[in-house]
Structure 1
């Protein structure tokens, strides 16, 4: 049997690819791949296994002499398809290595990646940090990620230093460093986002234990260094790009927070609040505050300008725990225009109220929970439209017997957009009001029993959704509905054999269109050699049909898809894995326009952790 034709093409049923072109394209990969693997293997082999994770510390500190963790991975694939354009190259390889190591408190990491596809060679070694602790003193330098408050400092990578002092119930937290580096335009390209060098300084005081009742106060100051940015050569003629040149900003946040535990921890109240003074442009004119009776030292701490605005954000949560009833109430409000340079992003002009009761009965065998959420934007009625969000849900879980359980729920989501008084005088701004109501019903019974040498499980799931859409000035029907159900069976034998199967159906209707999807899945697996080798086979058959109305005609589309998956996993050692996977897809157009296709892929992955 001839596998390759005379012109170098792989010959299969409706499947082919040019093996000669692939060999020429990937041939340059092997030299670089071998160098990476050999160097990595030498480095890892040079460190004994007992040295790769040292548990002891130096003296009374938490500093370890050294640690080394990471993984190496090598994967190859062969892919073929009858589609005009494939999703990946016919042959390819990917080698990667990730290292995390520390020496006397200094921590760093390295990531190396080499691919025969578009990414080629990449390496990253940009994070370097030092952390050490002694009794109630903790010091960090390099790349740190401090968290003060939900609205003041959270989720930023600060390249600088961090100090935490925690003697007893009192704690002090200091942080300083660079948040952003200066980014100028790159030659004539106008797609690069420009930014100033931004520095951040912060401190937080806390009285009381973090896990108990406490009071905290945090102050964060961030400012952009006003160094002129180098624009693109095209910015002079490109008005759109010129409008994207940023201006230096400045921000000061003051954030009090507290947590109160009362009545034997049955009542908990916690709040996070932030007052933000934000200057959009530090080049704007400074204001004289002496006429307002504000002391001069205030201007020395923060220069108020014409582009300076003050706003606040607050979050309050209260939880009551009186067994068997639990009640959680939360309120969050972020004022319009609220900005904090200690956050990457935040949604302003938003308010929400949540109420979540939960009741546990019959020794926990019956649980009833509910959730009520009410939200809106346009808090100061400055926009022409206000969005209201109301979400109400009820869920019930019951353990009817040791084998039989039942879960069900109902949820209604109401989103409505209403015009404000500012739009009444101008018909051009009087947008049509709209309301979207979604009703969702769900039911999931399941039955599980354990035999002498196996476990059996049956489960059924059903869900129905009705969507009602009402838009002013639109008379046609926009409502739709959706229904889905599934049945599954699982068998697990203690010897390592497993069998599963299931059927599913989904259908829906909307104005001018109906669809249905039916499917069947089956799978089996077995574990060999004390579960060091696991083999799994899975297959599925599905068919979807769509009917759409076009005038007086009805267009019908129908497709059938057959797919199969096979995998074998071998673990020669605790931290070593060899995985072989194969998948195939055959898609057939039964009715209507369109083309069928076939896909086949084999992948080998070797992974070593250390």
Structure 2
């Protein structure tokens, strides 16, 4: 695959050179009347500062980005776009954020080199970034596309954040115009590099106490840990001086994940726990931060690393082969449209498994020429169809989707398998009103491999229109029912949800102080009638009211207020109030635009206050600078988020050329 990738880049370079040379030759006589080469695009910089107290950080303290997106235009018919993004987040993120891309485009084709996205279809290639190359030809009604490259880098970690280095090759051959009748045939193969991550990594991770804990003398607590790829016994030690010296807590301790420890003196503010493998002393872990041991104090749970536990065995190298067809059929001057896609997939979750003896299974030779099946390899198919009828005052849609439980594509960002869906939708207009209705039925357990089947039915209705020249109204209703056929009270599901909404807008005179009024109301009622959740009914009423004002010719303002009343289990009632005021100001012939928002939320258990300032200034036709500042204060108990103050500011400069 790597040889093919290098060949693709070389081939792309030849295409660029040929296109430029051909265009230069054909237009040489017009060189004096037009620019041979022109360059346009944008460049800029972004900087951000972030701080929070009372809660763990959710962003880096400082972030910087540089971007540069030039487009080189040859004679107005051949465009060569470049894309550069350099970020301080690039090395710390799970997948690299830094980007570089060249995306030339000419009349009968285009190409991609570097970082790019390519959309083939929802069942094959969609929504992922590729670092590699691609070439696309579109001579007349034919369309040919070939892409290859890496879609993820290797990252040591657990099931949620670990990944192998993955290489992807995809091709598409099509005929017809995509806005009319067309047909595409798609091929995709993706494979992880097993050698990109070390195998069977030995590790120990201390879970608690892990820092900022407060442990009373004489109390009983549990030292907890997790481990990977190690056996035998462990040694547990305690340091009271920040790690300079250690004393034995337990020797020859079985590796069962916990040890009940009776805390003894002396007191200390610099305690650390160290756990070491007895069979390999190089494998150990220490508490991330110091914790306290003292008399007469209340126990406090410190820093938890449950979400940081790494189990390298949960990350497996995968492989996927896929063949799909996608297209559209239109007739009756586009009044009737059929969109369709179907795909077949072969997927191996772990290519470290043993290969299957091909003489013992019935696998077509054409498949084994491209793919070696392993123990655990599965294959399945998926179908996605949508039939649309477009009339002058109405439209109707009917869809059917089937995604088998064994269907996978490593070329899409998200794909839900083991799912069947039937949908019907209709919209029509009468005078100044529009009406809509729809129904969706979803079910799983397509091959009866699960203990029970879950089915969902969703109904939605809507109406909108103008009652008068200034009064616009809209109403909607959504009904959800979700049930399964489980005979076990523990897994039985019987859930329903109803949402009703009413929205009204009044567009008043555009010369008066008060310009517009908006009032909306929503009611949501959900009920879970599962045996283990008796009287689990939730009712929520939401009312919002907003007014827009024109204070001056260059100063607007908006006031809003909202009430949310919720009742759970017929006993727990909460009321939340929200209020906000905002201003929008323009100055210097709209070169300077600023907005200020002040808002608060009040309830019985927590309050919050937020203010935000956004200002941008175009100090020339091609240059702009913008500044954003936000500050949030939240006061609540430990169950609702605790107490924290958060501030975030950013500055952006951009230049168009």
Relative to the length of structure 1, the TM-score reads: 0.72
Rounded to whole Å, the distance in 2 between the matches of 1:221 and 1:588 is 51
The match for 1:410 is 477
Q: Deviations over 1:348-371 (max 9, x none)?
A: 111111111001110xx1000112
Rounded to whole Å, the distance in 2 between the matches of 1:328 and 1:346 is 22
Once the 2 structures are TM-superposed, how far is the Cα of residue 171 of structure 1 from its aligned partner? 1.9
Rounded to whole Å, the distance in 2 between the matches of 1:263 and 1:97 is 51
Rounded to whole Å, the distance in 1 between the matches of 2:190 and 2:567 is 53
Rounded to whole Å, the distance in 1 between the matches of 2:321 and 2:170 is 10
- Which protein has greater RCO, CA pairs closer than 8 Å, 6+ apart? 2
The match for 1:270 is 339
Q: Deviations over 1:477-531 (max 9, x none)?
A: 1112110112221122671232322332221111231111234434445433333
2:83 is the counterpart of 1:111: no
The CA RMSD over aligned residues, in Å, is 4.4
The match for 1:436 is 495
For residues 4-23 of structure 1, what are the structure 2 equivalents within 5 Å?
Answer: none
Rounded to whole Å, the distance in 2 between the matches of 1:496 and 1:484 is 33
Rounded to whole Å, the distance in 2 between the matches of 1:543 and 1:308 is 54
The match for 1:220 is 188
Rounded to whole Å, the distance in 2 between the matches of 1:509 and 1:603 is 38
The match for 2:173 is 205
For residues 334-353 of structure 1, what are the structure 2 equivalents within 5 Å?
Answer: 334-353=403-422
Contact 1:453 1:494 in 2 (8 A): no
576 and 389 in structure 1: CA distance in 2 versus 1, 3 angstrom threshold: same
Q: Deviations over 1:152-178 (max 9, x none)?
A: 222333333322222211222223334
**Which 10-residue stretch deviates more, 145-154 or 437-446?**
145-154
SS at match of 2:84: strand
Rounded to whole Å, the distance in 1 between the matches of 2:322 and 2:108 is 27
Contact 2:610 2:630 in 1 (8 A): no
2:377 is the counterpart of 1:384: no
Matched positions, count? 515
SS at match of 1:382: coil
Contact 1:453 1:493 in 2 (8 A): no
Contact 1:398 1:405 in 2 (8 A): yes
2:201 is the counterpart of 1:142: no
Once the 2 structures are TM-superposed, how far is the Cα of residue 255 of structure 1 from its aligned partner? 0.9
For residues 118-133 of structure 1, what are the structure 2 equivalents within 5 Å?
Answer: 125-129=98-102, 131-133=104-106
Rounded to whole Å, the distance in 2 between the matches of 1:242 and 1:566 is 44
2:144 is the counterpart of 1:172: yes
SS at match of 2:536: coil
Question: Which of residues 350, 360, 374 is equivalent to 2:429?
Answer: 360
529 and 201 in structure 1: CA distance in 2 versus 1, 3 angstrom threshold: closer
Contact 1:469 1:478 in 2 (8 A): yes
Runs of at least 5 residues in structure 2 that lack an aligned partner in the other structure: 1-22, 28-34, 74-79, 204-227, 232-254, 256-309
Contact 1:583 1:601 in 2 (8 A): yes
Contact 1:568 1:581 in 2 (8 A): no
103 and 382 in structure 1: CA distance in 2 versus 1, 3 angstrom threshold: same
168 and 74 in structure 1: CA distance in 2 versus 1, 3 angstrom threshold: closer
Once the 2 structures are TM-superposed, how far is the Cα of residue 260 of structure 1 from its aligned partner? 0.5
Rounded to whole Å, the distance in 1 between the matches of 2:169 and 2:439 is 39
**Which 10-residue stretch deviates more, 526-535 or 349-358?**
526-535
Question: Which of residues 61, 69, 72 is equivalent to 2:45?
Answer: 72
Question: Which of residues 331, 354, 371 is equivalent to 2:438?
Answer: 371
The match for 1:609 is 655
Relative to the length of structure 2, the TM-score reads: 0.67
SS at match of 2:508: strand
Question: Which of residues 374, 379, 382 is equivalent to 1:313?
Answer: 382
Contact 1:417 1:434 in 2 (8 A): yes
Once the 2 structures are TM-superposed, how far is the Cα of residue 271 of structure 1 from its aligned partner? 0.4
Rounded to whole Å, the distance in 1 between the matches of 2:161 and 2:646 is 40
471 and 527 in structure 1: CA distance in 2 versus 1, 3 angstrom threshold: same
Contact 2:550 2:556 in 1 (8 A): yes
Contact 2:141 2:176 in 1 (8 A): yes
Rounded to whole Å, the distance in 1 between the matches of 2:125 and 2:324 is 10
The match for 1:16 is none
SS at match of 1:243: helix
Once the 2 structures are TM-superposed, how far is the Cα of residue 88 of structure 1 from its aligned partner? 10
Q: Deviations over 1:139-192 (max 9, x none)?
A: 3333343332221222333333322222211222223334455x4869xx9998
Q: Deviations over 1:416-464 (max 9, x none)?
A: 2322xxxx6xxxx664422111111111112112244666111211111
